[in-house]
Amino acid sequence: MFNLKEKLMKSRLKLIIISALLLCNIHFAYAANTGVEQLKHFLTRSDSFSAAFSQSLFDEKGYELQFSAGQFSLQKPGKFSWDYEEPYRQVIMSNGKLIWLFDSELDQVTIKPVESSLSKTSMVLLFNKTDIEKDFKLLKMDVIKGVSWIELIARDHDAEFSNIFVGMKNNLINSIKMIDGFGQTTVIQFSKISSAVKFKPGRFEFAIPKNADVIGGE
């Protein structure tokens, strides 16, 4: 059980960066003609963001392995929090220097430096304003049920995901689909989106629960 949960937590840690970079700011008046143009405009802006999310993990045959849901918050540069509420409470949070991974069932907190936890590409995308085409090749795809799809192909050979797809609708990011090297697919859907959020001081400093086991640290 522990190994399975640890694997899922590590998988989620990889997901947060790609998702975070795609959600930098959704509040803009920009009449883009394509999903590619909208996405490129997103990534030249830095702001705060919050949304509800649902996340499903499928195996290579399309069988759903896991479903989870919760709230996501982001404040660039480098601060984010995935607060999982279903099927049980988990938190993945960063203040830009450290990452906390909390599992309520194990009553365990793992603390890691950001630099040792994220890939080079992830660090660039999350912490800096960047031209996305320096790190990804963008391919316009079909419009399906009103959602304009884009494929992102990483130029870095050590990228976490072999395929990344972004769905844009009404100038908002509607969904993200990622396929890893094992053929597993993660689909994230967003709702109740807010931009330019005023977070309270200390929002991205994780408070370690009393009596929780702590692994790692500064």
Give pLDDT tens digits for 165-189.
Answer: 888 776 667 788 888 878 899 999 9
Q: What is the pLDDT of residue 122?
A: 55
Q: What is the pLDDT of residue 26?
A: 40
Q: Average pLDDT in the 84-89 region?
A: 92
The reported pTM is 0.75
State how far the Cα of 195 lies from the Cα of 202, in Å rounded to an integer.
19
Top pLDDT among 161 and 200 is at 200
Q: What is the pLDDT of residue 41?
A: 62
Beta partners for residue 95, in sequence order: 79
- Cβ neighbours around 144 below 10 Å, total: 9
Q: How confident is the model at residue 193 (pLDDT cuts 50, 70, 90)?
A: confident
Q: How confident is the model at residue 131 (pLDDT cuts 50, 70, 90)?
A: low
Domain boundaries, the chain: 2-216
> Position of tokens 């795609």?
22
- Which of the following CATH numbers is that of domain 2-216: 2.50.20.10, 1.10.3260.10, 2.40.50.100, 2.40.10.120? 2.50.20.10
Handedness of CA 199, 46, 24, 216 (dihedral sign): negative
Alpha carbon distances (Å) from 109 to 90, 104, 210 = 10, 9, 11
Q: CB neighbours of 198 closer than 8 A, spacing ≥ 6?
A: 48
Per-residue pLDDT at 98 exceeds 60: yes
For residues 124 and 111, is the Cβ–Cβ distance under 8 A?
Answer: no
